[in-house]
Amino acid sequence: MRKCIVTVLGKDTVGIIAKVCTYLADNGINILDISQTIVQGYFNMMMIVDVTAKDQEFTVLCDELAKLGEEIGVSIHCQREEIFEKMHRL
Amino acid sequence: MMNINMYEVSETNKMIEHENLDVRTITLGISLLDCMDSNLEVLNRKIYEKITTVAKNLVSTGQEIEKEFGIPIVNKRISITPIALIGGSACKSPEDFVTIARTLDRAAKEVGVNFIGGYSALVSKGMTPGDENLIRSIPQALAETERICSSVNVGSTKAGINMDAVRLCGQIVKATAEATKERDSLGCAKLVIFCNAPDDNPFMAGAFLGVTEADAVINVGVSGPGVVKKAIEAVRGKGFEELCETIKKTAFKVTRVGQLVAGEASKRLGIPFGIVDLSLAPTPAVGDSVAEILEEIGLERVGAPGTTAALAMLNDQVKKGGVMASSYVGGLSGAFIPVSEDQGMIDAVRQGALTLEKLEAMTCVCSVGLDMIAIPGKTPASTISGMIADEMAIGMVNQKTTAVRLIPVIGKEVGDTAEFGGLLGYAPVIPVNEFGCGAFIDRQGRIPAPIHSFKN
């Protein structure tokens, strides 16, 4: 399994989760965990996803998600899990 | 293992987006020992081929890692075996060495790295004719190239200080300043004089690959003054224990990122991992300053009484936190205190809080030395040699690396500003003690190694 962290940050609007999840589903990416909050009208979501089945280059996925974010009006980042794991786990 | 949570993800990303957390450099060390040849043309061709082959994928691999992990890798660079050794047989004059400088510059441009370090000579005990020719070629080499970084190691705890080399280097610094005077003597920003230079330093301008190293090796330099500054804001007014713990934990986190990037780069390039350098390396960007950390610790301005103690503590905590985060630590590993590359230092010099003498004291307790300091262009070569000798003595006696990167800005006086551009920043010209040391510098030979170097 190859885990990635998708973060979505921005002004809350209808359908953010739906659009992100649709993109992931269309690309064969399984969602393992979602946490989401809204603080003062700001949407903040973190997903742990499994990109093993994704056959394209990982960097293409990052670009496409960033582009999707621009369309929705939020910022979407996709990063390999290791950067968080290394920093926060011994 | 517990999944990463939202708080941890946002902490990491906040460090990257708002506190200038980055990997300062992936430096690919390339040994040129197998390029040696007595024919200058053949030597140049072999050097070009080796660098452009080994480093072919360095930049693209760095960019891939940046994107996948979402961590900026500011510089991709190359360090090489000191050229005085490689060119010793083929080069009969300083001009011959300059041809190698041009080749290196061409190779750097071809593979897309912004600096290549190792136009260097190691002369802590004596100079060969090759060493001397290389040193004499430095002004022309730095004036005619764009991406070459040069260094000369003139002393060590084991060998003492080669005062003949110190005298020569004072003249060379001055000549380099003259040769690049149209650009505020920028050449001097790419010339470092060392004592106890490490073989595996990834940071420019002093990087080179020592002869004890493998054929190719990945060394990584982390950064993160902004992250440390932000973290210790939370313990304002608290005791030293809490302050130190906070710095250590932050240094650990920052270094882990460096270790991760080093491991990935090594795996993808198929080149062994060497070391992570734990240095806190500032940039002229707002909030990326070591001086600001010291001020957050409690100094009104860096340079005030207490500065040396605060810096000693900071440096030590950074090492203690970082050491456990990396499997191999090396290079310079400490806090850098360049003047021109750190907005807080620039401001302190402008306000008269920070003087050359205080900077010298600070170099006793951190890496590296008198770094990126603009001095009046009329400063005599012997005075520059005297400043080099002082700094070398600090390194020699304290068994640490020290370095001098002074820029005598031709045509500028105290109060003027020198502009270097980019990561090299800008610096106010700082006053230098005007009493001479010519008779001291004119003495021939070397200063013997200190008594505590005899540990056998």
- Amino acid at the residue B30: I
Please check the confidence at residue B455 and state whether its pLDDT lies above 90. Answer: no
pLDDT in tens, B104-120: 999 999 999 999 999 99
Exposed/middle/buried for residue B36 (C-beta within 10 Å: 0-12, 13-18, 19+): middle
Residue B135 corresponds to which tokens in the numbers above? 């040193």
Residue A23 confidence (pLDDT):
94
CB contact under 8 A, B6 and A37: yes
Q: Is the pLDDT of residue B224 over 90?
A: no
Would you say residue A58 has pLDDT above 90? no
Is B302 inside any structural domain? yes
Chain B (67-86) residues lying within 8 Å, Cβ to Cβ, of chain A: 67-71
pLDDT for position B424: 86
Place of tokens 């007595």: B38
Question: Least CB-CB distance to A84: which of B9, B67, B68?
Answer: B9
User: Is B260 in Cβ contact with A46 (below 8 Å)?
Assistant: no
Asked if residue B3 is part of any domain, the answer here is no
Residue B14, in any domain of the structure:
no
What would the pLDDT profile of A7-44 be if each residue is shown by its tens digit? 999 999 999 999 999 999 998 899 999 999 988 888 99
Looking at the predicted structure, is the pLDDT value of residue A55 above 70?
no
Q: Which residues in B lie closer than 8 A to residue A33 (C-beta atoms)?
A: 3
Structure token digits, residue B221:
């330099």
ipTM above 0.95, yes or no: no
3-class secondary-structure state, position B406: strand
Cα–Cα dist B106/B147, whole Å: 9
Cβ–Cβ gap B67/A59 under 8 Å: yes
B228: left (phi over 0), alpha (psi -120 to 50) or beta: alpha
Handedness of CA A89, A57, A45, A29 (dihedral sign): negative
Cβ–Cβ of A83/B70 closer than 8 Å? yes
Count of alpha carbons within 13 Å of B106, Cβ hemisphere only?
Answer: 12
Q: Which of A32, A60, A83 to mutate to test the interface with B (most CBs of B within 10 A)?
A: A83
* Chain B nearest C-alpha distance from A63 (Å): 9
For residue B316, the number of C-alpha atoms closer than 13 Å in the C-beta half-sphere is: 12
pLDDT surpasses 80 at B283: yes
Structural domain span for residue B430: 25-451
| 3 state SS of B44 | helix
Q: Is B271 contained in some domain?
A: yes
Which residues on A lie below 8 Å from B2 (Cβ)?
89
What is the number of CB-based contacts under 8 A between chain A and chain B?
64
CB atoms within 10 A of CB B353: 18
User: The CATH number of the domain where B251 resides is what?
Assistant: 3.20.70.20
The per-residue pLDDT for range B405-426, each reduced to its tens digit, is 999 999 999 999 999 988 788 9
Q: For B66-102, what is each residue's pLDDT tens digit? A: 999 999 999 999 999 999 999 999 999 999 999 999 9
For residue B16, tell me if it sits in a domain: no
Structural domain count, chain B: 1
Are the Cβ atoms of B70 and A46 closer than 8 angstroms? Answer: no
Name the minimum distance, in Å, from the CA of A58 to any CA of chain B: 7
**CB-CB under 8 Å, B259 with A87:** no
* Across B162-168, average pLDDT: 98
CB contact under 8 A, A83 and B260: yes
Beta pairing class for B191-195 and B402-409: antiparallel
What is the pLDDT, as a whole number, of residue A56?
Answer: 65
In a domain, B456, yes or no: no
The contacts of residue B222 (CB under 8 Å, 6+ apart) are B23, B24, B254, B255, B257, B258, B276, B277, B278, B279, B281, B322
Residue B429 lies in a domain: yes
Mean of pLDDT values over A38-65: 86
Among B7, B9, B253, which would you mutate to test the A interface (most chain A Cβ atoms within 10 Å of its Cβ)? B9
Instruction: Determine the residue among A86, A89, A90 to mutate to test chain B binding: the one whose Cβ has the most chain B Cβ atoms within 10 Å.
Output: A86
User: pLDDT of B362-406, one tens digit each?
Assistant: 999 987 899 999 999 999 999 999 999 999 999 999 999 999 999
Q: Is residue B11 part of a domain?
A: no
Confidence of residue A53 (pLDDT cuts 50, 70, 90): low
For position B421, what pLDDT does the model report?
Answer: 83
Query: What confidence score (pLDDT) does residue B105 get?
Result: 98
> What is the distance in angstroms between the CA of the first residue and the CA of the last residue of chain A?
20
Give me the domains of chain A, ranges plus CATH numbers: 3-88 (3.30.70.260)
Please, which residues 18-57 of chain A have a Cβ atom closer than 8 Å to chain B? 32-33, 35, 37, 44, 46, 48
